[in-house]
């Protein structure tokens, strides 16, 4: 995110006009001076801003408008995002994820009303090592900058497929998603994720612009794969600590954004003794001894927290209550109201391997609809879509061991796609 991390009334709108080289204006082939190049192509480069469910900033980066209403960026910038926008100067446009290609790290955004001239794509043929390249982006969300670089090499897999473009010089920090142009102003690629502050420097790599023509097809395939994911949880092959703890001091999960592949830790820390109830993270999570949820006021664990039903995802005796219906409105931090209408059913028992230890779980399946009411999606009104979630609850531990969800819906600038997995790591 985001977070943009990156809802049957309406499903994702049809694909926007695709970027086809044949349909673009012919390039002049003339080499441009840096100032002329910047003046020509910089109107297609935007600051990308993501926020969480409470409307708090998650991060910034760069997005590149490839044609009217369409932009592309690096997928990791969207991890955990509940809202995505493109801005420059005093102008801002709401955006939503349209096609994710997580394997390559390239994501296409739908941006309603975004004015943009179609960019000319630079094919890999003829792009020689030593060619001059220009990087235009918004470092850490500030004003656009222009940097000069050289193509150091074209990385390929063992099978010969192009893996990335390698630049000769390090790019400025915070330029994730920045556009890479050749000397004629043709889009050659987009910068991927940069090294974290303090980390060992790594080569500056860019995703080839030639991949953009394949993005819709690969994105459809990725979304279809998520929707058809098997309803059985894989083994949680990571270290695990703890059995049933009535008054835990620390509960740790790992949250994965399945659209971007980004992972992060989610830690609930006890606020200390508080009578008959247990309070975590400054009162944002309150439960009874044994795990029964009393209240949640934040969305630290993504959708698991954000749209949790009253009382939690699991009833007190799930093995005795085989199916139920729930309709409610979730609100966390006052930034959004989300309507939920779900049918739940216990689908049986399963033994999960958690860090080499077998644990009995009850699998619960939720199917229904969500309506993101006056939410942070930036379009106003209501945005509805189908919602599907699965919960694996371990009676031995008194809480869910795994949570998976998938939702998509909305229209225009309010279209959304969210797919997350949450796994319990430890209780202590």
pLDDT in tens, 216-244: 999 888 887 766 655 444 444 444 444 44
Residue 97 belongs to what H/E stretch? Answer: strand 91-101
pLDDT value of position 196: 55
pLDDT value of position 243: 47
Query: CA 411, 416, 421 angle in degrees (round to 5)?
Result: 160
Low-confidence spans in the chain with pLDDT less than 50 = 1-27, 231-244, 374-379
Nearest CA-CA partner of 353 in 235, 219, 241: 235
Give me 14's structure tokens: 């049809």
The SS3 of residue 63 is strand
Query: Does 1-6+8-215 carry CATH code 3.40.80.10?
Result: no
pLDDT value of position 313: 93
> What phi and psi, each to the nearest 5 degrees, are found at residue 296?
-135, 125
- Kindly report, residue by residue over 115-139, the tens digit of the pLDDT: 999 999 999 888 899 999 999 999 8
Is residue 164 a contact partner of residue 157, using CB atoms and an 8 Å limit?
no
pLDDT value of position 97: 87
pLDDT value of position 382: 60
pLDDT value of position 27: 47
Q: What is the CATH number of domain 229-427?
A: 2.40.360
pLDDT value of position 375: 43
pLDDT value of position 248: 82
- Rounded Cα distance between 41 and 320, Å, is 63
Nearest CA-CA partner of 427 in 320, 269, 273: 269
Within a 10 A sphere around the Cβ of 276, how many other Cβ atoms?
Answer: 6
pLDDT value of position 5: 35
Largest CA distance in the chain: 75
Domain limits, the chain? 1-6+8-215, 229-427
Distances (CA, A) of 258 to 5, 129, 225: 10, 35, 11
pLDDT value of position 130: 94
């Amino acid at each position: 995110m985001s977070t943009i991390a990156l809802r049957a009334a309406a499903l994702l709108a049809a694909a926007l006009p695709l970027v086809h080289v044949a349909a673009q204006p012919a390039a002049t082939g003339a080499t441009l001076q840096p100032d002329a190049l910047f003046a020509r192509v910089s109107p297609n480069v935007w600051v990308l801003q993501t926020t969480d469910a409470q409307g708090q900033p998650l991060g910034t980066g760069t997005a590149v408008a490839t044609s009217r209403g369409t932009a592309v960026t690096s997928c990791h910038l969207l991890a955990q995002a509940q809202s995505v926008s493109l801005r420059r100067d005093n102008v801002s446009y709401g955006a939503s994820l349209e096609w994710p290609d997580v394997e390559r790290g390239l994501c296409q955004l739908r941006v309603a009303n975004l004015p943009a001239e179609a960019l000319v794509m630079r094919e890999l043929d003829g792009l020689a090592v030593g060619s001059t390249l220009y990087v235009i982006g918004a470092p850490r969300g500030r004003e656009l900058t222009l940097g000069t670089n050289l193509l150091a090499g074209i990385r390929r897999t063992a099978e010969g497929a192009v893996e990335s473009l390698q630049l000769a010089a390090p790019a400025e920090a915070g330029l994730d998603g920045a556009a890479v142009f050749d000397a004629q102003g043709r889009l050659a690629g987009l910068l991927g994720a940069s090294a974290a502050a303090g980390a060992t420097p790594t080569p500056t790599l860019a995703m080839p612009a030639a991949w953009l023509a394949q993005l819709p097809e690969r994105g459809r395939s990725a979304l279809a794969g998520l929707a058809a994911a098997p309803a059985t949880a894989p083994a949680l092959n990571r270290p695990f600590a703890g059995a049933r703890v009535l008054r835990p001091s620390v509960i740790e999960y790992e949250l994965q954004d399945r659209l971007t592949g980004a992972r992060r830790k989610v830690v609930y820390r006890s606020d200390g003794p508080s009578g008959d109830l247990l309070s975590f993270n400054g009162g944002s999570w309150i439960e009874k001894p044994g795990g029964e949820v009393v209240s949640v006021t934040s969305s630290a664990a993504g959708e698991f927290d954000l749209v949790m039903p009253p009382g939690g995802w699991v009833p007190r005796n799930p093995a005795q209550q085989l199916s139920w219906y729930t309709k409610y409105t979730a609100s966390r931090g006052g930034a959004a109201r989300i309507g939920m209408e779900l049918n739940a059913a216990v689908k049986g028992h399963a033994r999960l391997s958690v860090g080499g230890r077998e644990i009995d779980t009850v699998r619960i399946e939720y199917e229904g609809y969500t309506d993101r009411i006056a939410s942070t999606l930036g379009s106003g009104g209501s945005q509805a879509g189908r919602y599907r979630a699965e919960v694996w609850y371990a009676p031995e531990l008194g809480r869910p061991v795994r949570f998976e969800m998938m939702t998509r819906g909305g229209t225009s600038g309010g279209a959304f796609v969210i797919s997350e997995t949450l796994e319990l790591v430890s209780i202590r």
